[in-house]
Amino acid sequence: MKNTLVYLWFISILLSCGKDEEVSSSANQNSHIEYFGFTLIDTYWDDPTDAESKTNYADEIHNFSNIADILVVNSNDNLSQRIQNFADLDLKAILHLNELFFELIDTNSLSGSNYDLRPDYEARWNEFKAINLSILNTNSIGALYIGEEPTWNGITFTELNAVSQLLKKDFPDIPSMIIEAYPSLSDLQIPETIDWIGFDRYFVKNPTINGEFQKDWELLKSKISSPRQKIMVILDSHFIDWAHGDFGNIDLIDMGEVADNYYELAKSDEKVVGILGYFWPNGFDIPESIGARGMPERIKSEYQRIGKEITGKNN
């Protein structure tokens, strides 16, 4: 009996060591990934699939996320309470600043929505900055998101550079970020003052082996203009039945696997600073779209698992 107990004790030690090695290996693989979160968290979007009037979903993601977005519309927007709500949930904000700096002019762009830099962009920024100075710091802000798919939407390098230099001059420690649409990557020029870059390409089951995605991935990295620039991976966390089916041969039940594959992509490159899921609530882009919020529970569990591994939020 004594020998049996000793044997069982020895086996348990070996198994425990094996588990510790697995945890340590996973931690080493993702140690360069600092952030995990979702978009459309505080952007005035009310999920049309429920009866609740709600436009802030921070309480639904904070247990496994550490970053989420806040939309800025006007130069006199006061973000103090919205930022405090995030801080109470241990979330940093990505501020959408497109509307602050750019205005829709016409349809003469690849996307059909052509934006120009506002003539009074500096005055608008100075007003916004004065109102929100107390929260414009690295404790509260994860990144300043300058333009929505800038090249795709007609924003020139000169315009993008002017804004990025302005932000870097005033807040050099807060990262600035741009995310480009994949069809415009070949024309993208990245100002040296931009800190985080990324691109969006959806309806791909496994970006680590998909040839078109990998070409875009390498093209994005070839556009890096400063060695300190890092990559934000845009996770496909929404589902459109006909689009995911026709373009990616992806069923709803596959979206957990899709998330795992994007995570593997992020772990494979030391340049990656975070993963941002597009998007959380339902019904955005088109009414029948399913956001991460509306996914089956086992798929949401995958988002939670990945997020907790990255953020360390293991409650």
Ordered per-residue pLDDT tens for the chain, 315 residues: 444 434 334 334 444 445 444 444 455 688 999 999 999 999 999 999 999 999 999 999 999 999 999 999 999 999 999 999 999 999 999 999 999 999 999 999 999 999 999 999 999 999 999 999 999 999 999 999 998 899 999 999 999 999 999 999 999 999 999 999 999 999 999 999 999 999 999 999 999 999 999 999 999 999 999 999 999 999 999 999 999 999 999 999 999 999 999 999 999 999 999 999 999 999 999 999 999 999 999 999 999 999 999 999 986
Is the whole model's pTM more than 0.85, yes or no? yes
Cis, peptide link before residue 279, omega less than 30° from 0: yes
pLDDT of residue 314: 84
pLDDT of residue 6: 40
pLDDT of residue 150: 97
pLDDT of residue 62: 98
